Structure 1
Amino acid sequence: MSALDYVTGPALEQGHDVALYAPRIFRREARRRGVEFHRAGTDWTCDPAVQQTAGEIWKESGNPPFNRYVFGELWPDQAAAKAHDLITMWRRERPDLVIAECSDLGAHLAAKVLDLPVFAADNGLGPVLLDLWDTDIAPALTSLYKQHSQDTPLLPAMLTPAPVPWFYRTPPPAARAVRRTVAEFRTVLPERLDRSASCRPLVYVSLGTLTTAMPSLRAVVESVYREIMAALSGIGCDAIVSAGDLAQDLPSTDPRIEAPRVDAVEHVRQPALLRHVDLFVTHAGRASLLDAVQGTTPVLGMGVLADQPDNAGAFARRGLGRALDLTARPGEISDAVTAVLADSHYRDAMIAADAELSQLPPLDIRELRDSV
């Protein structure tokens, strides 16, 4: 849901009725944002067998085969169920505008079948989908489109919450960059995480939540957390490590990790915390990197899967931090952390990037609807 805050927030502020059509796992997050919820599609991403297979492909064959399997095979396979649910519901209550995640292939089809104006909202997967579209995704969708008497599958015009060149070597068709907003509750920092009294640099670490759900990846990511925490224990900094349900075991079972200077927690309000830290060690997911820009916090990117490795490299090339491979050892990590903390140019580059991000035009829902 956080990847769509730049759409739902402005729509609500502009007085529109906003409804989320999604699997039930998103119900709570929709309600936290004041968005009406309707269940559509299935919770297939929570299927242990799917998670196991996807994780094994990544572990054994690497990221490109993982992307082809997940985004070129699984997502198209699930589009039929989502399209069926949406066509049924939208025939009863027709929306004025559809803004669907770029990876929500079923919603794109449903909107096309019902001749509804539709835009694809970039959730970070836009570059991956474009790379796979002609070779994997469009061929996999062709039969489903024919069943609904539709032409060749095409991505709708893209909305993206960042300057297009930041993440795209080749811009997607009709791309429209719009201002990024964050849900208000995510901008408040709990008092227990306020470390303003410390004179040491504060490093925040998070490798995301997706990988810990995949059994084959979970052990790998846990090991990476331990290497990062061991590296941070050896330099003069404090650290907050957000590691989900891995957090309870990380410090207590590794003698290299010095507590409480390296504090493992399950979850933090990331946009709020990033306004108070000196460096972000991140898996380089799109939303996390943009949180870092808006917090003017340099990054050390350690991409895991999907778009993340490319994102980490893109930010390093822009001087917004550094990038390391996931297999980096504690010595390499501590050297990179020390180098970024010691060089003010990284923070200056982030301040400039934040200014560029804030100059994007706001998302105007009515204007968007009228432009179709």
Structure 2
Amino acid sequence: MRILFTAHAGKSHLRLLIPLAQAAVRAGHTVAVADDESMREESVSYGLEFFPAGFDWAKDPFCVEAIALPLFRGDQEAYEDGLVECVLGPPALAAARDILAVAADWKPDLIVREGEEMGGLLAAESLGIPHIAVAGGSTHLLPPAVTNGPLNALRAELGLPADPDDNSAYRHGLISWLPAECTGDDLDPRTLRHYRQTAPYRSDDKALPWLAELADDKPVVYASIGTMAPSMPWKSDEVLHAVIEAVSGLECTALVSIGVGRDPEEFGEVPAHVRLLTEWVPQDVLLEAADVFVTHGGHSSIREGLRSGTPMLVTPMYDDQPNSAEHVADVGSGINLPAYWVTGETVTEALGRLLTEPAFRLRAAAVRRSVLACPPVEQLVTDLEELVAVHAAQEETCVS
């Protein structure tokens, strides 16, 4: 089986697909990634063949106007509207054409796409092969009622007939790495299936010997604002400063990721028990060592926090983060503290609760058990093998 994975440019977007891609490779299948050129190095670090397709939304005038300006203004509603316009607009059509060019030689049997990446869907339908979506942080903004009309308009651009199926975006399957209690009613249930997430392996994963040297008489607080927010300091630096102020006054060991390559001196002098991280580190490893996770609420971080059973303080700023933060609070695994409420005092109070109130730790452990109860990713590979085989048999019957 040949599986082509498609995503939007962004490390966390690609990371959503990697556990399945690596499991497929282990099962003997041929796998490749089609994404913006900026994701080549990231794909190779996971050991995957790469093809350039699509483009970086941050450099596209259409998406900049639709998304970047509302983001800069802090207008969440306009941002979400702009995101849907980009997902179901010209960027999807351009990506589909690039993916079709790749597929002409590579000849995939199946396309697996990030839930918000519609170019892969359009390419799969042009090729007459199945497509699977893996739900990302903003997939909840794309129910069938939203996607069906615009997708038919895009199909017409590719010379495809309109599809009357109101679930056409997810008809072959919608996959979530979170259990049902963590997705609520966000996702259409008709083809939704839940599987157990695993931590992807990167060739540049580093040993972290200093973890073994942390104080054994203090709780460990790990804080990170992801890979994208550090590039927007006007949104993230206030949060980082507040977190550093809070952990500086707590009896804990604090590991604070401030962004790859940033100068720690930007944040002033910190006490000895606070370590500012400026290199990429495997977050799943740090979460296993942490007693509390302070996160911006990106989908990958939330998934990894729930998977590790680490109580979370979520400080959402934009995009899918407010929705994810609400889910964490709803299941009792943490506290939702929107960025506009974040100060040194509010973070100190929230961390105090997470470190001292057993209910958060117990609920986080219970949710982790729900994650572990889901079928493993290897079962998903088997299910995809069956999907492709059934589709091929149907196609053969139609031809004959």
TM-score (norm 2): 0.83
2:201 is aligned with 1:184:
yes
Please give the alpha-carbon distance, in whole angstroms, between the structure 1 residues aligned to 2:233 and 2:66: 13
Shift of 1:47: 5.4
Q: Deviation digits for residues 36-69 of structure 1, max 9, x if unmatched?
A: 1111112333559956873431242521211211
Distance 1:259-1:317 versus aligned 2 partners, 3 A rule: same
Pick one of 15, 23, 30 that aligns with 2:36: 23
User: For residues 73 and 140 of structure 1, what CA distance do their matches in structure 2 show?
Assistant: 11
Task: Tell whether the 8 Å contact from 2:293 to 2:313 is kept in structure 1 after alignment.
Answer: yes
1:198 Cα deviation after fit = 3.9
In the alignment, the residues of structure 2 paired with residue 277 and residue 340 of structure 1 have an alpha-carbon distance, to the nearest angstrom, of 12
Amino acid at match of 2:223: V
Query: How large is the RMSD of aligned CA atoms in angstroms?
Result: 2.4
Q: What is residue 338 of structure 2 aligned with on the other side?
A: 325
Taking the aligned partners of 1:75 and 1:119, their CA distance within structure 2 comes to: 17
Match of 2:258 in 1: 243
Say how many residue pairs are matched.
Answer: 363
CA distance in 2, matches of 1:321, 1:160: 21
Identify the residue that residue 150 of structure 1 maps to in structure 2. Answer: 161
TM-score by length of 1: 0.89
Indicate the residue corresponding to 1:168 in structure 2.
184
1:169 and 1:307 map into 2 onto residues whose CA distance is: 15
What residue ranges of structure 2 are gaps of 5+ in the alignment?
Answer: 1-13, 392-400
Sort the Cα spacing of 1:52 and 1:146 in 2 relative to 1 into closer, same or farther, 3 A: closer
Which residue matches 2:116?
A: 103
Give the alignment partner of residue 103 of structure 2, picking from 90, 100, 103: 90
Q: For 1:51-62, list aligned pairs within 5 A.
A: 54-62=67-75
Separation in 1, partners of 2:104, 2:56: 23
- Which residue does 1:211 correspond to in 2? 229
Which residue of the other structure, out of 240, 251, 254, is the alignment partner of 1:225? 240
Measure how far apart 1:218 and its partner are: 2.2
Q: Offset of 1:291 from its aligned partner?
A: 1.3
- Matches of 2:365 and 2:121, distance apart in 1: 36
* Residue identity (%): 24
Unaligned runs of 5+ in 1: none
Q: CA deviation at 1:181?
A: 1.3
Contact 2:312 2:333 in 1 (8 A): yes
Q: Distance in 1 between matches of 2:116 and 2:274?
A: 36
334, 359, 367: which is aligned to 1:345? 359
Are the equivalent residues in 2 in contact too, given 1:233–1:258 (CA < 8 A)?
Answer: yes
Match in the other structure for 1:275: 288
Match of 2:50 in 1: 37
Q: Report the CA distance between 1:354 and its aligned residue.
A: 1.4
- Specify the code of the residue in structure 2 equivalent to 1:146: A
Question: Residues 366 and 346 (structure 1 numbering): CA distance in 2 closer, same or farther, change over 3 Å?
Answer: same
Residue 365 (structure 1) aligned with residue 381 (structure 2):
yes
Indicate conservation of the 8 Å contact 1:2/1:182, yes or no.
no
Q: Distance in 2 between matches of 1:63 and 1:4?
A: 26
Tell me, what secondary structure is at the counterpart of 2:89?
A: helix
SS of residue matched to 2:327 = helix
1:236/1:47 Cα in 2 relative to 1: closer, same or farther (>3 Å)? farther
Q: Distance in 1 between matches of 2:226 and 2:114?
A: 19
The code of the aligned residue for 1:260 comes to: A
